[in-house]
Structure 1
Amino acid sequence: MPNDGIPFERIRERAYDIWDRNHRPAGFDLEFWLMAERELRAEAATATADRSEANNPQTS
Protein backbone atom coordinates (compact mmCIF):
# COMPACT_ATOMS: atom_id res chain seq x y z
CA MET A 1 0.00 0.00 0.00
CA PRO A 2 1.46 3.41 -0.90
CA ASN A 3 2.20 5.80 1.92
CA ASP A 4 0.14 8.57 0.26
CA GLY A 5 3.06 10.98 0.08
CA ILE A 6 3.81 10.80 3.78
CA PRO A 7 7.58 11.18 4.20
CA PHE A 8 9.42 8.02 5.23
CA GLU A 9 10.98 9.87 8.16
CA ARG A 10 7.58 10.84 9.60
CA ILE A 11 6.39 7.24 9.41
CA ARG A 12 9.60 6.03 11.02
CA GLU A 13 9.30 8.53 13.86
CA ARG A 14 5.64 7.69 14.48
CA ALA A 15 6.37 3.94 14.41
CA TYR A 16 9.17 4.48 16.93
CA ASP A 17 6.84 6.49 19.18
CA ILE A 18 4.21 3.73 19.03
CA TRP A 19 6.84 1.09 19.79
CA ASP A 20 8.14 3.16 22.71
CA ARG A 21 4.64 3.75 24.14
CA ASN A 22 4.07 -0.01 24.03
CA HIS A 23 7.14 -0.73 26.18
CA ARG A 24 9.41 -1.60 23.24
CA PRO A 25 8.36 -5.19 22.51
CA ALA A 26 10.42 -7.23 20.06
CA GLY A 27 8.92 -8.56 16.84
CA PHE A 28 6.19 -5.98 16.20
CA ASP A 29 8.05 -3.72 13.78
CA LEU A 30 5.69 -4.29 10.85
CA GLU A 31 2.57 -3.87 12.97
CA PHE A 32 3.85 -0.60 14.42
CA TRP A 33 4.94 0.63 10.98
CA LEU A 34 1.50 -0.06 9.51
CA MET A 35 -0.19 1.53 12.52
CA ALA A 36 1.96 4.64 12.04
CA GLU A 37 0.99 4.82 8.36
CA ARG A 38 -2.72 4.51 9.23
CA GLU A 39 -2.51 7.21 11.90
CA LEU A 40 -0.66 9.64 9.66
CA ARG A 41 -2.98 8.94 6.72
CA ALA A 42 -6.02 9.60 8.94
CA GLU A 43 -4.49 12.84 10.23
CA ALA A 44 -3.76 13.97 6.68
CA ALA A 45 -7.32 13.18 5.58
CA THR A 46 -8.76 15.12 8.51
CA ALA A 47 -6.52 18.10 7.78
CA THR A 48 -7.52 18.01 4.10
CA ALA A 49 -11.21 17.87 5.00
CA ASP A 50 -10.80 20.75 7.45
CA ARG A 51 -9.03 22.88 4.82
CA SER A 52 -11.68 22.05 2.24
CA GLU A 53 -14.46 22.97 4.63
CA ALA A 54 -12.73 26.24 5.53
CA ASN A 55 -12.29 27.13 1.86
CA ASN A 56 -15.86 26.22 0.89
CA PRO A 57 -18.22 27.39 3.62
CA GLN A 58 -21.82 26.49 2.93
CA THR A 59 -24.57 29.00 3.43
CA SER A 60 -27.91 28.01 4.90
Structure 2
Amino acid sequence: MADDAKASRHEAPRPRNPDALTFEQIRERAYELWERNHRPEGLEIEFWLLAERELRSERDKRRAADPAHPVDEAPPE
Protein backbone atom coordinates (compact mmCIF):
# COMPACT_ATOMS: atom_id res chain seq x y z
CA MET A 1 0.00 0.00 0.00
CA ALA A 2 2.81 2.41 0.83
CA ASP A 3 4.39 1.72 -2.57
CA ASP A 4 1.17 2.79 -4.33
CA ALA A 5 1.11 6.07 -2.44
CA LYS A 6 4.80 6.64 -3.17
CA ALA A 7 4.32 5.97 -6.89
CA SER A 8 1.35 8.31 -7.25
CA ARG A 9 3.20 11.06 -5.39
CA HIS A 10 5.91 11.09 -8.09
CA GLU A 11 3.59 11.22 -11.09
CA ALA A 12 3.26 14.51 -12.92
CA PRO A 13 -0.01 16.22 -12.08
CA ARG A 14 -2.62 16.28 -14.80
CA PRO A 15 -3.55 19.75 -16.04
CA ARG A 16 -6.97 21.01 -14.97
CA ASN A 17 -7.39 22.72 -18.32
CA PRO A 18 -7.61 20.13 -21.11
CA ASP A 19 -5.90 22.59 -23.48
CA ALA A 20 -2.91 22.97 -21.16
CA LEU A 21 0.38 21.47 -22.24
CA THR A 22 1.70 18.69 -20.05
CA PHE A 23 5.17 18.39 -18.59
CA GLU A 24 5.62 15.16 -20.55
CA GLN A 25 4.68 16.78 -23.89
CA ILE A 26 7.17 19.59 -23.36
CA ARG A 27 9.88 17.22 -22.15
CA GLU A 28 9.51 14.97 -25.19
CA ARG A 29 9.59 17.89 -27.64
CA ALA A 30 12.58 19.50 -25.90
CA TYR A 31 14.45 16.18 -26.09
CA GLU A 32 13.66 15.84 -29.81
CA LEU A 33 14.93 19.37 -30.45
CA TRP A 34 18.07 18.72 -28.41
CA GLU A 35 18.82 15.55 -30.37
CA ARG A 36 18.18 17.23 -33.74
CA ASN A 37 20.71 19.87 -32.75
CA HIS A 38 23.45 17.32 -32.01
CA ARG A 39 22.96 17.24 -28.22
CA PRO A 40 24.70 20.48 -27.22
CA GLU A 41 25.49 20.89 -23.53
CA GLY A 42 24.20 23.76 -21.41
CA LEU A 43 21.15 24.67 -23.51
CA GLU A 44 18.45 22.78 -21.61
CA ILE A 45 16.37 25.86 -20.81
CA GLU A 46 16.53 27.16 -24.37
CA PHE A 47 15.27 23.84 -25.76
CA TRP A 48 12.55 23.67 -23.10
CA LEU A 49 11.31 27.16 -23.96
CA LEU A 50 11.46 26.46 -27.68
CA ALA A 51 9.46 23.26 -27.16
CA GLU A 52 6.80 25.17 -25.21
CA ARG A 53 6.55 27.81 -27.96
CA GLU A 54 6.25 25.21 -30.71
CA LEU A 55 3.61 23.17 -28.88
CA ARG A 56 1.55 26.27 -28.02
CA SER A 57 1.72 27.44 -31.62
CA GLU A 58 0.58 24.02 -32.91
CA ARG A 59 -2.24 23.91 -30.35
CA ASP A 60 -3.38 27.42 -31.27
CA LYS A 61 -3.34 26.59 -34.99
CA ARG A 62 -5.47 23.48 -34.39
CA ARG A 63 -7.85 25.50 -32.23
CA ALA A 64 -8.17 28.22 -34.88
CA ALA A 65 -8.71 25.68 -37.67
CA ASP A 66 -11.61 23.98 -35.86
CA PRO A 67 -12.90 26.04 -32.91
CA ALA A 68 -15.90 23.72 -32.40
CA HIS A 69 -13.69 20.67 -31.90
CA PRO A 70 -11.78 20.41 -28.60
CA VAL A 71 -8.02 20.34 -28.86
CA ASP A 72 -6.56 16.93 -28.09
CA GLU A 73 -3.87 16.76 -25.41
CA ALA A 74 -1.28 14.91 -27.46
CA PRO A 75 0.59 16.74 -30.24
CA PRO A 76 0.25 15.20 -33.70
CA GLU A 77 2.88 12.62 -34.57
TM-score clears 0.5: yes
SS in 2 for 1:19: helix
Matched ranges for 1:4-19 at <5 A: 5-19=20-34
- Report the aligned-residue RMSD: 1.2
The secondary structure found in structure 1 opposite 2:66 is helix
Q: How high is the TM-score relative to the length of structure 2?
A: 0.62
Would you identify which runs of 4 or more consecutive aligned residues in structure 1 move more than 4 Å?
A: none
Percentage of pairs with the same residue: 56
When the two structures are superposed, what TM-score results if normalisation uses the length of structure 1?
A: 0.79
Return the letter of the residue paired with 1:5.
A
Residues 15-43 of structure 1: CA distance to partner in whole angstroms, max 9, x if unpaired?
Answer: 00000000000000000000000000000
Aligned residues: 50
1:13-28 correspondence runs (5 A): 13-28=28-43
Gaps of 5+ in 2: 1-18, 69-77
Higher helix share: 1
